[in-house]
Amino acid sequence: MQVYEIKKDIYWVGAVDWTVRDFHGYSTYEGTTYNAFLMLGEKNVLFDTVKKPLTSDLIHRIRTIIDPAKIDYIVVNHVEMDHSGALPEIVDLVKPEKIFCSKMGHQNLLAHFHKPDWPYHPVEDGEEVKIGDRTIKFLETRMLHWPDSMFSYIPEEKLLISSDAFGQHLGTSERFDDEVDEAELLYQARKYYANILTLYSPLIRKLLEKVQEMGIEIDMIAPDHGVIWRKNPGKILELYDDWSHNRGNRRVLVIYDTMWHSTEKMAKAVADGVESEGVSVQILDLAVNHRSDVVTEVLDSKGVILGCPTLNNGLLPRMAGFLMYMRGLRPTNKFGAAFGSYGWSGESVGLLNKTMEEMKFDLIHDGLKIKYVPDHSSLRECVELGKLMARKVKEALD
């Protein structure tokens, strides 16, 4: 099995998951990787493991470099099972002297594996461990995105092993950012942030400030998913800073579901109104766009207009599911509006507004409801709603 030396005597020994297509509700149509790293030296250190079904991939890669029994330490940066699933088998094989983890990581490892006899070594935030001529500095990153999360920084190599931060769900035989298509890489990085880290944006801003204050030099970022940033690691740091501020771009999304195409007609008219004001617009039909791809577009759009007809005094299931998903991520600093068709009760627009209010969207309109099929006069109202949103976005960003 192929391994990659990412720094002198530091190797990628992880696994590629070519077939995974869903990651707890997030579509992973390019698969993913579970990255693990082996550092050789006075003490041999394994950073993280892989998802349990891919344990053999990890073991075989380690064996191409050293006998696994020669590994002295294991570092668990994050306890989530896609990175720790292989841990019980690896611990049995390696019999490590120490398992480094955060204090919360210690609790979570016990709660996951019920192994009180493992040689845990919980570390403090900022604690350093000297390993020959190298140092591992542990940086606690609680709630990015689990309570146990931490980074491992090796200052002599300017290498940041960043756990679930700065990653991408991207299954590929290439290991580095400069070896893959940049547009695809940045899209997958944006999708990863939008679907996993948006909720924690305030903590990310604090973390980036902390790294800057500490003067940490970084020339390579090795996340637990996707490719390693070696060409320009500063690029992903800049993007995280931008995304964490939730500023939004000069763009409006029209996100809708429809029953008998009346709401679809309204959606197109709303989008025409946005476009007529010279603002970029994207129409997203929930019947053909996965919620995780839609949320990715929400990340950097300033305006969000939701459309849904009324079904049984409520919303269509796809819209209801999307709202629950988006509400959990809590995107901020958005303008919002709602529209929808109805037959006899018409609750959908009010429900859309309520959800956006809960997310603290700035509603620009009370909402537009059209009975049954919109006529030309009704569609003109939809165009005006789109124009209003576009003007709000321009005023905020121009």
pLDDT (0 to 100) of residue 146: 81
What is d(CA 145, CA 131) in angstroms, rounded to the nearest whole number?
A: 28
Percent residues over pLDDT 90 in the chain: 88
Q: Determine which of 69-83, 115-129, 199-213, 282-296 has the lowest per-residue pLDDT on average.
A: 199-213
Decide if pLDDT at 161 tops 70: yes
pLDDT (0 to 100) of residue 240: 94
Decide if pLDDT at 190 tops 70: yes
Q: 128-139 pLDDT, tens per residue?
A: 999 999 999 999
pLDDT (0 to 100) of residue 24: 84
What's the number of CA atoms in the CB half-sphere (13 Å) around residue 193?
A: 25
Q: Mean pLDDT across the stretch 95-99?
A: 97
Q: 344-376 pLDDT, tens per residue?
A: 888 899 999 999 999 999 999 999 999 999 999
Decide if pLDDT at 270 tops 70: yes
What is the CATH number that goes with domain 4-244? 3.60.15.10
In the chain, the amino acid numbered 382 is C
pLDDT (0 to 100) of residue 313: 86
55-80: buried (b, 16+ CB within 10 Å) or exposed (e) per residue? Answer: bebbbebbeebeebeebbbbbbbbbb
Nearest CA to 243 out of 299, 285, 294 is that of 299
Q: Mean pLDDT across the stretch 91-107?
A: 96
Q: Mean pLDDT across the stretch 255-274?
A: 96
Q: Catalytic positions, please?
A: 24, 78, 80, 82, 145, 164, 192, 225
Question: What CATH number matches the domain at 253-392, 3.30.420.40, 3.40.50.300, 1.10.3330.10, 3.40.50.360?
Answer: 3.40.50.360
pLDDT, averaged across the chain? 94
pLDDT level of residue 1 (50, 70, 90 thresholds): low
* Distance set, CA 31 to CA 28, 49, 61, 149, 225 (Å): 5, 18, 20, 23, 10
What is d(CA 385, CA 329) in angstroms, rounded to the nearest whole number?
A: 26
Nearest CA to 91 out of 123, 117, 127, 65 is that of 117
Q: Determine which of 113-127, 193-207, 293-307 has the lowest per-residue pLDDT on average.
A: 193-207
Q: Determine which of 266-275, 287-296, 310-319 has the lowest per-residue pLDDT on average.
A: 310-319
Instruction: Spell out the domain ranges in the chain.
Output: 4-244, 253-392
Burial class of 331 by CB neighbour count within 10 A (0 to 12, 13 to 18, 19+): buried
Quick one: residue 114, left, alpha or beta (phi over 0 = left, psi -120 to 50 = alpha)? left
Q: 51-77 pLDDT, tens per residue?
A: 999 999 999 999 999 999 999 999 999
